[in-house]
Amino acid sequence: MRILVLGGTLFLSRAVVTEALRRGHDVVCAARGESGGVPDGARLVPVDRDRPGALDALAGERFDAVVDVARMNVTWVREALRALGGRAGHWTFVSSISVYADQSALGGTVADALLPPLEDDPDAEPTPDRYGSVKVASELAVRDALGDAAFVLRSGLITGTGDTSDRFGYWPARLSLGGRVAVPDTPDQPFSHVDVRDLAAWIVDAGERRLAGTFDGTGPATPLAMALGEIAGAVAPPGTELVRVPVQTLESRGVSAWSGPRSLPLWLPPSHVGMLAHDPGPALAAGLGVRPITDTALAALEHERSLGPDRERRAGLTAREEADLLAAL
């Protein structure tokens, strides 16, 4: 197959390129190239999607499959469809579980109500709800152009090597150091994720099989305490102690949920626990593979170590913040 990946230099899009090349496909990447190179064997076409008509650089080329991972820009999505939609055998658009209006309900499905669609607004604050609403508008653009022929993938939490969010990676990095490790005292909170390699493989499968439809791309949910325990079992030295910190203590000490500075990643407030508890059944039946979380943890730890243990993180606690938190118990 001849595959066009709109991106190809970072995380999921790079993993898609790597997997497609491994299978012997001819891969073209359309990206600025400022975030790094594309995997060896792929061809990079320098494209700045902020410039109108940028994808005209691919005029006349035809592709068996196109993969668009546009994060939060419906204009990019529409322009790609205008320029390439009529010359693609298959189209994948990577959306997000953030599109759903109610993030508290467990066992969500693709039939659940969505946020209202919103157009791009460079002056608007990039809140989680705005992110979800722009993704909704992007999905509508895909369906307006291609009907039911597209593969719309609402990804859950993507984990593993190459992750730039620091959320999942915080835990294997921290647990590998041992000692007393602060964890949220929400042992029954559901947690689900999808390894970037598994998601990339499914996207390439979808192009090969011409899979169409809308799917939530995530694995089965497990209790957060079990997930952290399995990560610890894979990477933590003997004697490591997971210390449960009450939510009241976390909140009083200014520790944030989910992500950002001074946070405990993967911990969610009740209003958002459903985000990591969607029904994975349709995706699994359609071919999404799920590897053990221990495999993901080891890959994430290798990535963390390549970035350097003392770097400034986008999510998690510093050693001093964690020590102060534990001392407050």
pLDDT in tens, the chain (329 residues): 999 999 999 999 999 999 999 999 999 999 998 878 999 999 999 999 999 899 988 988 999 999 999 989 999 999 999 999 988 999 999 999 999 999 999 999 999 999 999 999 999 999 999 999 999 999 999 999 999 999 999 999 999 999 989 999 999 999 999 999 999 999 999 999 999 999 999 999 999 999 999 999 999 999 999 999 999 999 999 999 999 999 999 999 999 999 999 999 999 999 999 999 999 999 999 999 999 999 999 999 999 999 997 889 999 999 999 999 999 99
H-type helices in the chain, by residue range? Answer: 11-22, 74-84, 128-146, 167-175, 196-209, 224-235, 247-252, 281-285, 293-307, 319-327
Among 3.40.50.10860, 3.40.50.1950, 3.30.70.1400, 3.40.50.720, what is the CATH number of 2-155?
Answer: 3.40.50.720
Sign of CA dihedral 212, 217, 219, 222: negative
pLDDT at 59: 82
Alpha-carbon separation of residue 65 from 68, 89, 223, 237, 292 (angstroms): 10, 5, 37, 45, 29
Domain ranges of the chain: 2-155, 164-191+221-266+291-327
pLDDT at 310: 82
Residue 144, C-beta contacts closer than 8 angstroms, at least 6 positions apart: none
- Residue located via tokens 């939510």: 247
pLDDT at 296: 98
pLDDT at 34: 80
Among residues 172, 191, 206, 183, the alpha carbon closest in space to that of 280 is found at: 191
Contact by Cβ (8 Å): 150, 93: yes
pLDDT at 309: 77
pTM across the whole model? 0.97
Which amino acid, 107? G
